[in-house]
Amino acid sequence: MSKPIRILVIFLAFDLLIAGIYFLARGSKSKGGDDPTKGTEWVTMDEYYQPAAELEQFIKTSSGESGYLPLQFKNYGANAAVLKKFRGAKLVGAGKSVLEMSFPGLEDWAVVDIWIKGEEGREIRRTILYVLAANAWKVGDSGRLAD
């Protein structure tokens, strides 16, 4: 084998090695990485539950008025990574800036999973985006989290 062909083969083998390492590293990052919803536990809320924050008090009051207590919930808080996974009726994969434009006067927000077991054994599981504007919590959107 001549010297120029040998150099070309070595060069191509080196390029293939670098391309393989690049695509392996890129593929491992896109296959999930860190799931922002992991580590958050379900909490049971009933008539005797003591809310830890204003949002939990709002959820307890509104659920109690609707007759949905007891329920279970996961509060992800104002986590932008969870907001990106949120698929609602109004917002889909939105960022914080889109949220601020959609809800003028936004002071705070939180994404909460709610799981209700009905009397007939029916289960309702929704992800709700709560927003705080004018010192009052309200439901901003309802949907689910993308897998």
Give how far Cα 142 sits from Cα of 14, 69, 91, 108, 120, Å: 51, 19, 9, 17, 23
Predicted local confidence at residue 33, as pLDDT: 56
Predicted local confidence at residue 28, as pLDDT: 61
- Terminal Cα distance for the chain, rounded: 53
Query: What pTM, to 2 d.p., does this model score?
Result: 0.74
Checking phi first, is residue 105 left (phi over 0); if not, alpha (psi -120 to 50) or beta?
A: left
Q: Which ranges of the chain have pLDDT less than 50?
A: none
Predicted local confidence at residue 71, as pLDDT: 94
Predicted local confidence at residue 29, as pLDDT: 57
